[in-house]
Amino acid sequence: MKKILFKGCGTAIVTPFKGDEVNFEELGKLIDFQIQNNIDSIIICGTTGESATMTLEEKKRTIEFAKSKVNNRVPLIAGTRFKLY
């Protein structure tokens, strides 16, 4: 039997910006709000649209921040993509 990795409801968190930079203070508030309201997992740099316009460095910093902020309280799912050429 397969082990279920994720269950319940996961929120795809938007990446807030202030000017041309990720607003980590607001991102932290969004993550905490979701966890405080019993979300089952957090999805970062995923399907909310802005990840397609973020640089690789912005994505790395955002995922690292989210990992630290979530701090194993819920599963964290990070959106990634690979260049295959």
Q: How would you write the pLDDT of the chain (85 residues) with one tens digit per residue? A: 777 777 899 999 999 999 999 999 999 999 999 999 999 999 999 877 787 788 889 999 999 999 999 999 999 999 876 555 5
Question: Is 6 inside any structural domain?
Answer: no
Question: Is 39 inside any structural domain?
Answer: yes
Question: Is 71 inside any structural domain?
Answer: yes
Structural domain harbouring 43: 13-78
Question: Is 25 inside any structural domain?
Answer: yes
Q: What is the pTM of this model?
A: 0.85
- CA gap 10, 47 in Å, rounded: 12
Through-space distance between the first and last CA atoms of the chain, rounded to whole angstroms:
36
Total structural domains in the chain?
A: 1
Percentages (nearest 5) of helix, strand, coil residues in the chain: 40, 15, 45
- CA gap 36, 18 in Å, rounded: 24
Question: Is 84 inside any structural domain?
Answer: no
DSSP 73: S
